[in-house]
Amino acid sequence: MKSIRVMIVAAIAMCALTGCGMSALVAAYNDPAVEYGRSFYVTSGMVGVPDGDLEFRQFARYLSNALESRGYRAADKNEAELEVRLSYSMGAPLKSYSSSYDEKTQTHSSDTSTSYYKQMTIVAMKGGEQVWKVNVSSNSGDDNFPEMVPYMLAAAQDYFGRAGNRDVTILYGRKIKVITGE
């Protein structure tokens, strides 16, 4: 039984390292005293990125799919109970250097790696007040932000309307297919 667990952990680690998954930190907050409803519309939470921006529209569709998979219902802006604001960004590349010296073989080795910090914030508003908020962040060597968005939303979706903090590993699978509409 222990060897099966070790193999599963190794497979998950290998999958995360080779690009079929990602690890993200999720921090979620809510106001439990507020009844906020389940109908929503998505809008941009970023200055300078209008709702009509093509990239934003794609990510907003993914967010809508994630919300609908959790029992929320998309509605017209005038009929929705929640305004859901989506914002996201990816930081500049961060280079890390390491070196070591092996006294036995008297050899030096060095390594360079590059990572990219990605973040996403989803805020549900009712009557101009925040009722819940989910922050998702990931720091990895993958610089393809659009490819990471479904994984970040999959990490966030269990926290829509809830509070909690957790490190989440998401592998390619059913959740990603629901979010991307596959």
State pLDDT tens for residues 102-113.
888 888 888 888
Q: Can you give the residue ranges of every domain in the chain?
A: 21-180
d(CA 57, CA 11): 34
d(CA 42, CA 155): 18
- pTM, 2 dp: 0.79
Task: Say what the pLDDT of residue 80 is.
Answer: 97
pLDDT band at 20 (very low <50, low <70, confident <90, very high): low
Considering the chain, what is the average pLDDT of its residues?
Answer: 85
In CATH, the number for domain 21-180 is 3.30.160
Residue 163: strand, helix, or coil: coil
Mean pLDDT within 91-95: 84
